[in-house]
Structure formats: structure tokens, C-alpha cells
Amino acid sequence: MSLLITGGTGYIGSHTVVELLQLGKDIIIVDNLSNSSTLVLDRVKAITGKTVTFIKADICDEAALDTVFKEHDIEAVVHFAGLKAVGESNDLPLSYYQNNVSGSVTLFQVMAKHGVKNLVFSSSATVYGENNPSPLDETMPTSATNPYGQTKLMVEHVLFDLARSDSEWSIACLRYFNPIGAHESGTIGENPNGVPNNLLPYVAQVAVGRLPQLQVFGDDYDTPDGTGVRDYIHVVDLAIGHVRALESLTKIKGCKAINIGTGNGTSVLEIVNTFKEISGQEINYKVVPRRAGDIGTVYADASLANTLLGWQATRNLNTMITDTWRWQSQNPNGFE
Ligand code: NAD
Ligand code: UD1
């Protein structure tokens, strides 16, 4: 039996594939390479000594997915494939709805047709919207403020409806907080296209000299130092969260939304100062007005993951930043 990993050559997918290969799992990756490269597969092999079956295909391509399910004995799917840039989603909403919503529905239809009803889905803390106080827990109301967030929320609704319609489905919607860091080998990590939107890859590129200056978006939030507070989580802890979710699917009847965070908040300036200390590099920054759509404080109540999946994060901020820096300094231009 194999596991199908959609988006498995991407940032979070590749780290999850490493953890699964190290447990002896048989892995099939489906990815259209829109935001990744097959170079990652050589790195995954170097870490694990194992190979995966790689299929270049789009999750919107029903016939291609059908062939994958016909040719392989698949027990469960981890569904990472999707577009993830909030700003771009405002400019290209149709691409986001097509890729993330239609593509996901196509995948679920093919899974249903082949009787594969075990699924772990990449959701996001963005589904908590702007109006809930942290710590955020899974019982709070959900909403979205941009097309990207809408797509995550819509797919969650599809999955709750699907599980209600057919009791054979076991589904974990993992609501990630802010994934950062890289594999401790320094050989795989986050490799954003163009100028990064997220804080950590931006800081890392300033440290390595690829970008001149970080803009700190606002220092007038109601937080200890006035800058935004987030729940950063090491990507390897997140990957292990997927392993625990797969192991727990037999217990999860229906569809469950589960936060994957540390439960701790860290400010932008704490990130900058820790990065500076660990890398020994100057991080040139200036404070600018708040970014539209941002909120001051976001962190998880991560207790459900502990009780339901037996999972909790174990890597601290120093490890997250040490591993980010190792990846960035050893691979200043990503996988190329
Ligand atoms: P990523 O872009 O590195 O990986 C996504 C992968 O999916 C890429 O390899 C891309 O080529 C592939 N892909 C995209 N559309 C596809 C399609 N139609 N068919 C086949 N493959 C396709 O992103 P990531 O950071 O690893 O994120 C993985 C998932 O987690 C995404 O669904 C994302 O929305 C979600 N998520 C990410 C974050 C984050 O901060 N990185 C936070 C919350 C949720
Ligand atoms: C962003 C997305 C969110 C997505 C998440 C993880 C927006 C509005 N939200 O959230 O939907 O789920 O990434 O992918 O884009 N910051 C700076 N300067 C920068 C970049 C960020 O000061 O150049 C600050 C932000 O204001 C924030 C913190 O750093 O306080 C983290 O930002 P970021 O990494 O973009 O994550 P989120 O804002 O949590």
C-alpha cells in the first residue's frame, strides 16, 4: 500500500515525504511543478537513501488522477497541492478557486471513485479570520478576508459535507500556523519564487545579502514591543504532525479540524534579533506602516492536536532559526 502526496515536491510536502520515507512508507508524489522542482527529489534521496514515485500531473486533471489510482494501491492521501500567495490571490482569484477548490474537488471525486477515503488536508490558521482572540481554538467561528483564505475555508466545508454524507471518510484538516525552518541537513527548505511575502524567507534573504532591507509592517500593535506576534512552527514538527495525523485517521471518524502550532507567540523584532544573533549577520530593517489585512496577535491553542493525535511541537525558536539560516546560507539561490 502507498501514500499519495499531492504537492509533495513543495516546501511542507518535501519535509513530510522525508519523515514518511524514514518510516519505510511507499510514497507517490503528484505535483505539477508550478512552484517546485524535481531537484528536491535528489535531496530527499540524499537524506533518506530512498526514492519515491514521482508523477508530474495537475490535480485538476481528472484522467491523470484516475490513472494514478488505477495503477497504484493507495491507502491514504496527504493533499498539499495548491497556490498559497495571499496578495496574488487578490489579483488572480479565478486561478485560486480553480486550482485550490476545483482541483481539490476533482481529487476527492477520484478518491471516492476508487474507495480511498483517508485524507489529510493542508488548511491554514487564516480560516480564523480577523475577529477571534488568540489563543485560537477549533470551536471558534471561521471567516476569510482574501481569496486564498476563502479557498481553504471552502475546501474545509466540502470536506465536512463529504464526511457527513458518507461515514467511511476519515479526514484531518490541519490548520497550520506559521511554518518556518528547514530540514536539519540544510539540503531542503523553503524556496519562494521572486520576492518573499512571508517574514522568515524575507529576513533570511536580507541576512544572506540578496535583499537590502526588511520592512517591519507596523510597531503600533497592542503587543509587548508593538510589532506583530505569530505562532512560528518548525516545518519538521509540522511534517511529524502529518505522520501522527495519518496514524490517527483510524480513530478520526468523519472530518476534524486540528490546529498545528506551538501555542507560543513571537514578535517580528524578536525574530529579527534572534536571526541576527544566530547568523552573525546584520539585519537591516525599517519600520513602515501596517500591512493591509494584518492583525496584531495570532497564536494557537494546540491542545486538540495533543489529545487527538498525540502530537506536540518540540523544536524551539533557536532551532527554527538555526535551521533556516543553515538552509539559506548553504543554498543562497535555493535548489538551483
Ligand atoms: P509550496 O508552494 O511549496 O507547495 C505546494 C506544491 O503544490 C508545489 O510543489 C506546487 O508545484 C504544487 N501544486 C500547486 N498547484 C498544483 C496543482 N494544481 N496540481 C499539482 N500540484 C500543484 O507550498 P507549501 O508552503 O509547501 O504549502 C503546502 C500547502 O500548505 C498549501 O496548500 C498551502 O496553502 C498550505 N499552507 C501553507 C502555509 C505556509 O505558510 N507555507 C500555511 C498554511 C497552509
Ligand atoms: C500570512 C498570510 C496568511 C498565511 C500566512 C502563512 C497575509 C495578510 N497573511 O500571514 O494568510 O496563512 O502568511 O503563509 O499575507 N512581516 C513584516 N515584514 C515582512 C513580512 C511580514 O513585518 O516583510 C510581519 C507581518 O506583519 C506579521 C509577521 O511578520 O506580523 C508574519 O508575517 P507573514 O510571514 O507574512 O505571516 P502572516 O502575517 O501570519
pLDDT tens digit string along 225-277?
999 999 999 999 999 999 999 999 999 989 999 999 999 999 999 999 999 99
Assign 336 a pLDDT band (cuts: 50, 70, 90): confident
Q: State the pLDDT at residue 333.
A: 86
- Ligand 2: centre distance to CA 274 (Å): 18
Give yes or no for residue 213 CB within 6 A of ligand 2.
no
325 in a structural domain? no
| Greater pLDDT, 191 or 124 | 124
Q: 26 alpha carbon to ligand 2 midpoint, in Å?
A: 35
* CA-derived radius of gyration, the chain: 19
- Give nearest CA residue, ligand 1 atom 19: 58
Average pLDDT of span 317-327: 97
pLDDT of residue 33: 97
Query: With contact defined as beta carbons under 8 Å apart, do 246 and 120 qualify?
Result: yes
Given ligand 1 and candidates 17, 78, 84, which is best to mutate, with the most ligand atoms within 8 Å of its CB? 84
How would residue 293 be classed by pLDDT, with cut points 50, 70 and 90? Answer: confident
Within 13 Å of residue 306, how many CA atoms lie on the same side as its CB? 11
91-102 average pLDDT score: 98
Range of the domain at 53: 2-180+234-262+301-314
Regarding the beta carbon of 289 and ligand 2, being less than 6 Å apart is answered no
The CATH number of the domain holding residue 137 is 3.40.50.720
Whether 284 maps to a domain, the answer reads no
Among 256, 3, 300, which residue's Cα sits nearest to residue 132? 300
Q: Can you tell me which atom of ligand 2 is nearest the CA of 229? A: 30
**Ligand 2 centroid to residue 34 C-alpha, Å:** 22
Strands 266-267 and 229-230: antiparallel
Residue holding cell 530593517?
Answer: 285
Mean pLDDT of 35-62: 98
Which of 152, 199, 273 has the most ligand 2 atoms within 8 A of CB, as the residue to mutate? Answer: 199
Has residue 148 been placed in a domain? yes
* Amino acid of residue 203: V
> Catalytic annotation on 221?
no
Could you give phi then psi for residue 318, rounded to 5 degrees?
Answer: -60, -40
Q: Give 116's contacts (C-beta < 8 A, 6+ positions apart).
A: 4, 69, 74, 75, 76, 77
In a domain, 118, yes or no: yes
Q: E strands along the chain, which residues? A: 2-6, 26-31, 53-56, 74-79, 118-124, 170-176, 178-180, 214-217, 229-230, 232-234, 254-260, 266-267, 285-288
Q: Say how many domains are in the chain.
A: 1
Closest atom of ligand 1 to 178 CA is 40
Establish if 227 belongs to a structural domain.
no
Predicted pLDDT of residue 221: 97
The pTM (predicted TM-score) of the whole model is 0.98
pLDDT at residue 78, as a whole number: 98
